[in-house]
Structure 1
Amino acid sequence: MPQQKRRDGNEPADAQRAHWEQTYTTHPVMYGEDPSDAARYAVDAFRAVGATRVLELGAGHGRDALYFARRGFTVRAFDFSESGLEQLREAAGRLGVAERVTTAVHDVRDPLPLPDDSVDAVFAHMLLCMALSTREIHALTGEIRRVLRPGGRLVHTVRHTGDAHYNAGTAHGDGIFEHGGFAVHFFDRALVDSLAAGWFLDEVYAFEEGDLPRRLWRITQTLPPRSDG
């Protein structure tokens, strides 16, 4: 397991951490209790590679983590909001799945506090397109690769450069724009492909979500099995 390393300053990301903590405190269960469409898809995608151990990054108040647990997966749920994770734990108790869910407050700019090859699947709904620099996104994808076992699968969603908020609001550089207090790193296809180098890129699926609507890609990529040599 890697040691925590000092991060370079990232003012938009630091501000977003405080923003989300306040948001989850002020608006409990803000996204409702129904799972996202991406999570519904991920259940079958994960089962197809024999996954039982799922890591969710950016779990928030837990609507997707709880859905995975109800579908029989063992779930580790990470988020940088203690308020959101507290809501997740309370809901897990009510739903009778507390024994299948563990939580940890974690900033994804730091190394993941997990051993190598320790999970079968990773899910991240709009986490990689938070206010992270390109360098930080690549580092996080490297950490995901480290903790996934060979043949494991990553399903993540990102807002892309076809979204209405791209090039709108406050520009922070490196593809990051802030609108209404919410900062997003908008992905182009070149970034998707670079993050999938060395993986099997199974699918890049375009979809819309919310009232704007937000325009996203759902990306499925799988680690190759380890070679015998």
Structure 2
Amino acid sequence: MTHTPGTAPRREPALADTQREHWQRTYRANPGMYGEQPSAPARYAAEAFASADAREVLELGAGHGRDALHFARAGFTVLATDFSPTGLAQLRAAAAEQGLSDRVGTTVHDVREPLPLPDDSVDAVFAHMLLCMALSTEEIAALVAEVRRVLHPGGTFVYTVRHTGDAHYGAGTGHGDDIWEHGGFAVHFFPRELVDRLAEGWHLADVHPFEEGELPRRLWRITQETPR
């Protein structure tokens, strides 16, 4: 798919909905598919949030909850959101088994919609590879604006994304807007200029490159803070 430079690319309107169903099937077929250990970005984020004296953490795209549970074990109160009821059901079951139900809440939410929280209501937000799902650049920008709306002044946002240096960038089925589908999963690969654009009006504290998985996936871990 091609588009004229300077204009929004045309994209199949059903792509994100198709991906929702794909993830639902994936979670049903592979309960706890990412294991019980937290991701490396979540371990980093827990330390960053603690250093900032955060108490409430909102996790976007929590899936079956390995990172949300890590935040809860670290003493945070966590609201975990995902568009997969199946993944969140697995998270609630794990929280109950670990005695963490009082620290973990869940909400089914599609990040293409406004966040179901009031302004200035959370201390920190975490999203591991959520922003690089099958979302348009416009939808990603709207989501980051929503994150800023719900964060307290001086709040911390840690997110990770696969970038255009990844081996799967340009491979598989192209959907425009730097979105490529490979093996059934659609990914919006980030150029660095998009990271900088999304940080406008924030304090961009860190852009850390790292690798994950056997491919390996190539990602950035971004830390940015709202003005005080």
Aligned counterpart for 1:179 among listed residues 179, 182, 187:
182
Q: Which string of whole-angstrom CA distances, capped at 9 and with x for unpartnered residues, describes residues 146-203 of structure 1?
A: 0000000000000000000000000000000000000000000100000000000000
Residue-by-residue CA offset, 1:96-148 (whole Å, 9 max, x unaligned):
11000000000000000000011000000000000000000000000000000
Q: Residue in 2 aligned with 1:5?
A: none
Are 1:114 and 2:117 matched, yes or no?
Answer: yes
Aligned pairs for 1:182-193 (under 5 A) are 182-193=185-196
After superposition, what is the alpha-carbon deviation per residue over 1:30-82, rounded to whole angstroms, capped at 9, x for unaligned?
A: 00000000000001111121100000000000000000000000000000000
**Which structure 1 residue ranges, 5 or more long, are not aligned?**
1-7
CA distance in 2, matches of 1:161, 1:126: 14
3-state SS of paired residue (1:90): helix
Give the letter for the 1:172 counterpart: H
Q: Which amino acid aligns with 1:98?
A: S
Kindly indicate whether residue 15 of structure 2 is the aligned counterpart of residue 12 of structure 1: yes
SS in 1 for 2:221: strand
- Amino acid paired to 2:178: G
Q: 1:133 aligns with which of 113, 133, 136?
A: 136
Q: Which whole-Å CA distance do the structure 2 matches of 1:10 and 1:20 have between them? A: 17
Aligned pairs for 1:1-229 within 5 A: 10-225=13-228
Kindly state the Cα deviation for residue 10 of structure 1 after the two structures are TM-superposed: 2.8
Shift of 1:9: 7.0
* Aligned equivalents of 1:194, 1:67: Cα separation in 2: 30
Q: For this pair of structures, how many residues does the alignment match?
A: 218
Conservation of the 8 A alpha-carbon contact between 2:155 and 2:225: yes
Identity %: 69
Residue 98 of structure 1: SS of its match in structure 2?
coil
Moved over 3 A (4+): none
Question: Against the structure 1 CA distance between its residues 9 and 103, is the aligned structure 2 distance closer, same or farther, given a 3 Å change threshold?
Answer: farther
Secondary structure (helix, strand or coil) at the match of 2:58 reads strand
Counterpart code for 2:104? V
Counterpart Cα distance in 1 of 2:194 and 2:15: 20
Cα distance in 1 between the residues matched to 2:112 and 2:25: 20
Taking the aligned partners of 2:13 and 2:128, their CA distance within structure 1 comes to 21
Q: TM-score, normalised by structure 1?
A: 0.94
